[in-house]
A and B are shown apart, each in its own frame.
Chain A
Amino acid sequence: MTDAPEPVFTEPWHAQIFALTVYLNEAGHVTWTDWAARFGATLKRHGLERELDGGDDYFKAWLEALETFLNERAMADTAAVEDLRAAWKRAYLTTAHGDPVTLDDVVEP
Chain B
Amino acid sequence: MGAREEARVWAGLALWTREFLRGSLPDMPHDHSDHDHPHALLPPEPALRVKALETLLTRKGLVDPAALDAIIDTYENKIGPRNGAHVVARAWTDPAFRAALIADATPLVADLGYYGRQGEHLVVVENTPEVHNMVVCTLCSCYPWPLLGIPPGWYKSDAYRARAVRAPRAVLADFGVTLNEGTAVRVWDSTAEVRYLVLPLRPEGTDGWSEEALMDLVTRDSMIGTGVVTVPE
Q: Do A and B bind each other?
A: yes
User: Interface residues, chain A, CB within 8 Å of chain B?
Assistant: 1, 3, 6-13, 15-20, 22-27, 29, 32-33, 35-37, 39-40, 43, 47, 51-55, 58-60, 63, 66-67, 70, 75-77, 80-85, 87-89, 92-99, 101, 103
Q: Size class of B's contact patch? A: 35 or more
| A19 neighbours in B (Cβ, 8 Å) | 68-69, 71-72, 75
- State the Cβ distance, B154 to closest chain A Cβ, in Å: 6
- B56–A55 contact, CB under 8 A? no
User: Interface residues, chain B, CB within 8 Å of chain A?
Assistant: 1-3, 13, 17, 37-44, 46-57, 60, 62-64, 67-69, 71-72, 75-76, 80, 117-120, 139-142, 149-150, 152-160, 174-176, 191-193, 219, 221, 226
Closest to B149 in A: A8
- State the Cβ distance, A92 to closest chain B Cβ, in Å: 5
- A20–B63 contact, CB under 8 A? yes
- State the Cβ distance, A104 to closest chain B Cβ, in Å: 12
- B51–A88 contact, CB under 8 A? yes
- A36–B43 contact, CB under 8 A? no
Closest to B176 in A: A1
- A97–B71 contact, CB under 8 A? no
- A27–B175 contact, CB under 8 A? no
Instruction: Evaluate whether A8 and B76 lie within 8 angstroms (CB atoms) in the complex, with A32-B118, A92-B41 already known.
Output: yes
Instruction: Evaluate whether A84 and B52 lie within 8 angstroms (CB atoms) in the complex, with A24-B63, A36-B192 already known.
Output: yes
| A103 neighbours in B (Cβ, 8 Å) | 55
Instruction: Evaluate whether A40 and B139 lie within 8 angstroms (CB atoms) in the complex, with A20-B63, A92-B42, A96-B40 already known.
Output: yes
Instruction: Evaluate whether A89 and B42 lie within 8 angstroms (CB atoms) in the complex, with A8-B150, A19-B72, A51-B159 already known.
Output: yes
| B47 neighbours in A (Cβ, 8 Å) | 11-13, 16
Q: 3 closest Cβ contacts across the A-B interface?
A: A54-B156, A54-B157, A36-B192
- B38–A97 contact, CB under 8 A? yes
| B38 neighbours in A (Cβ, 8 Å) | 96-97
- B50–A13 contact, CB under 8 A? yes
- B141–A63 contact, CB under 8 A? no
Closest to A101 in B: B40
- State the Cβ distance, A103 to closest chain B Cβ, in Å: 7
- A92–B62 contact, CB under 8 A? no
| A85 neighbours in B (Cβ, 8 Å) | 48-49, 51-52
| A67 neighbours in B (Cβ, 8 Å) | 49, 53
- A26–B117 contact, CB under 8 A? yes
Closest to B57 in A: A76
Instruction: Evaluate whether A53 and B157 lie within 8 angstroms (CB atoms) in the complex, with A22-B71, A36-B192 already known.
Output: yes
- B48–A88 contact, CB under 8 A? yes
